[in-house]
Amino acid sequence: MGSSPAGSWFTQRVVVGVGDLAVSNNGHAILSTYALGSCVGVAAYDPVPKVGGILHLMLPDSQISPAKASAQPAMFADTGLRQFFQQFSVFGAKAARLRLFVAGGASVICGQDPFRIGARNAAATLEILAAHGLSPGHSDLGGSFNRTIHLDIATGGLNLKTPHGEHRIELGE
């Protein structure tokens, strides 16, 4: 049996569920979100204070349920992104330094999707980011398959897993 490097003994995996977010400066943390289908995952990293986060949003606009948005703002693109970036500022991160990755927005319903939730989620996310002068350096949007992302807070390294394979994206460089 092989031995593990000492650093892996202390790694803490934080799972970001649907309609939730996490932002951290803990160099021993890996943030993960699973099964991004029509949902959109936004990963962001500021390499100076080494702060990273993931938002797993479910719907494009909080106007459809203001009560739900008040209780769970991360569920919606508009309220979730606002809350996400507020959390970054708590850790001393600056919007101008953020490196962004956006994934999901797929059409995973068999046949026609009259609601086009995935496409609407992706469009709303990109519009809101653009309105704040932000643009993802990398993205993997659309299609008809799920995605999983893992963000290493120590390095800013992001692993994207799809049915087509794995890709590493460096947000910390």
pLDDT digits (tens, 9 = 90+) for 114-165: 679 999 999 999 999 999 999 999 999 999 999 999 999 999 999 999 999 9
Domain 12-170 has CATH 3.30.1330.200: yes
Q: Which of 13, 79, 24, 80 is nearest to 51 (CA)?
A: 24
Rounded CA gap, 43 and 133, in Å? 16
pTM for the model: 0.92
Q: Report residue 23's pLDDT band, with 50, 70 and 90 as the boundaries.
A: very high
**What confidence score (pLDDT) does residue 4 get?**
44
Q: What's the CA gap between 100 and 84, in Å, rounded?
A: 12
> Which pLDDT does position 1 carry in this prediction?
40
Query: Residues 44-94: pLDDT tens digits?
Result: 999 999 999 999 999 999 999 999 999 999 999 999 999 999 999 999 999
Q: How confident is the model at residue 110 (pLDDT cuts 50, 70, 90)?
A: low
Ramachandran sector of residue 87 (left: φ over 0; alpha: ψ -120 to 50; beta: rest): alpha
Confidence of residue 9 (pLDDT cuts 50, 70, 90): low
Indicate the domain borders of the chain.
12-170
pLDDT for the residue numbered 130: 97
Question: Annotated catalytic sites, by residue?
Answer: 39
Mean pLDDT within 84-106: 96
